[in-house]
Amino acid sequence: MSNKSRRDFLKKSAGIAAGAGALSLLRAEKALARSERLRQRLGVRRVDRPTYQTVGEVERFHSRNTAFSRAVWDVTSPNHPAYPQQALGNARRAQDVADGTAEDGFRHPEFALSDAGTLLWYTGFGFMVTHLWEPFLKPGWKPYECSPEEASQLLKIAAKHFGASLVGTTKLNPNWRYTHRYHDETVKRRAAGPLGRALGVNPAHLATPVEDWVAFDTPPVDEELPPEMNNVVSVAVEMDYQMFRTSPSKIEWAATTHAYSKMKYIVMHLAQFINNLGYRAWPYGSGGPVLSIPIAVDAGMGELGRNGLLITPEYGPRVRLCGVITDMPLAQDRPIDMGVWDFCQTCEKCAKECPAGALQFGEPTSHKKFRTTAAGVLKWPVDGEACNYYWATEGTVCGNCVSKCPYNKPWGALHRVAQVLAPTMGSLWVKMDDLFGYSDKIPSQPFWEQDPREFPKRGPFQD
Nearest to 282 by CA among 221, 217, 332, 218: 221
Does 343 help bind ligand SF4 (rule: CB under 6 A)?
Answer: yes
Nearest to 135 by CA among 278, 231, 269: 278
Nearest to 336 by CA among 54, 41, 51, 32: 51
Does 344 help bind ligand SF4 (rule: CB under 6 A)?
Answer: yes
Does 347 help bind ligand SF4 (rule: CB under 6 A)?
Answer: yes
Least CB distance to ligand SF4 at residue 67 (A): 10
Q: Where are the beta strands (DSSP E) in 194-272?
A: 231-238
296 vs 302: CA distance, rounded Å: 7
Answer whether 332's CB lies under 8 Å from 424's CB. Answer: no
Identity of the amino acid at 65? N
Least CB distance to ligand SF4 at residue 250 (A): 15
Least CB distance to ligand SF4 at residue 233 (A): 25
Least CB distance to ligand SF4 at residue 339 (A): 10
Cα–Cα separations (whole angstroms), residue 76 to 65, 89, 184, 272, 392:
12, 22, 22, 40, 17
Which position among 71, 164, 293, 354 is part of the footprint of ligand SF4 (CB under 6 A)? 354
281 vs 135: CA distance, rounded Å: 8
Q: What is the DSSP string of 390-403?
A: HHHHHTS---HHHH
Residues 277-306 vs ligand SF4: string with x where CB under 6 A?
----------------------------xx
Which position among 165, 170, 286, 400 is part of the footprint of ligand SF4 (CB under 6 A)? 400
Least CB distance to ligand SF4 at residue 178 (A): 21
- Scanning 266-274, 287-295, 323-331, 398-406 for contacts with ligand SF4 by CB under 6 A, the matching segment is 398-406
Closer to ligand SF4 by Cβ: residue 185 or 385: 385
Least CB distance to ligand SF4 at residue 292 (A): 16
Q: What is the DSSP string of 259-280?
A: HHHHHHHHHHHHHHHHHHHT--
Q: CA 69, 112, 93: angle at the middle one, nearest 5?
A: 65
Least CB distance to ligand SF4 at residue 160 (A): 26
Does 315 help bind ligand SF4 (rule: CB under 6 A)?
Answer: no
Does 307 help bind ligand SF4 (rule: CB under 6 A)?
Answer: yes
**DSSP category for residue 165:** S
Does 225 help bind ligand SF4 (rule: CB under 6 A)?
Answer: no
Does 405 help bind ligand SF4 (rule: CB under 6 A)?
Answer: yes
Please tell me the count of residues contacting ligand SF4 according to CB under 6 A: 24
**DSSP category for residue 377:** E
Does 31 help bind ligand SF4 (rule: CB under 6 A)?
Answer: no
| Dihedral over Cα of 53, 57, 63, 65: its sign | negative
Does 425 help bind ligand SF4 (rule: CB under 6 A)?
Answer: no
Which position among 177, 349, 379, 409 is part of the footprint of ligand SF4 (CB under 6 A)? 349
Using CB under 6 A as the binding rule, the residues of this chain from 355 to 384 that contact ligand SF4 are 355-356, 358-359, 382
128 vs 283: CA distance, rounded Å: 9
In this structure, the number of other CB atoms found within 10 A of the CB of residue 196 comes to 21
Cα–Cα separations (whole angstroms), residue 280 to 103, 137, 346, 422:
48, 11, 44, 42
Using CB under 6 A as the binding rule, the residues of this chain from 177 to 206 that contact ligand SF4 are none
- Scanning 104-112, 255-263, 322-330, 397-405 for contacts with ligand SF4 by CB under 6 A, the matching segment is 397-405
Answer whether 358's CB lies under 8 Å from 324's CB. Answer: no
- Scanning 116-124, 283-291, 330-338, 343-351 for contacts with ligand SF4 by CB under 6 A, the matching segment is 343-351
Does 243 help bind ligand SF4 (rule: CB under 6 A)?
Answer: no
Which residues are near ligand SF4 by CB under 6 A?
Answer: 305-307, 343-344, 347-350, 354-356, 358-359, 382, 387, 390, 398-401, 405-407
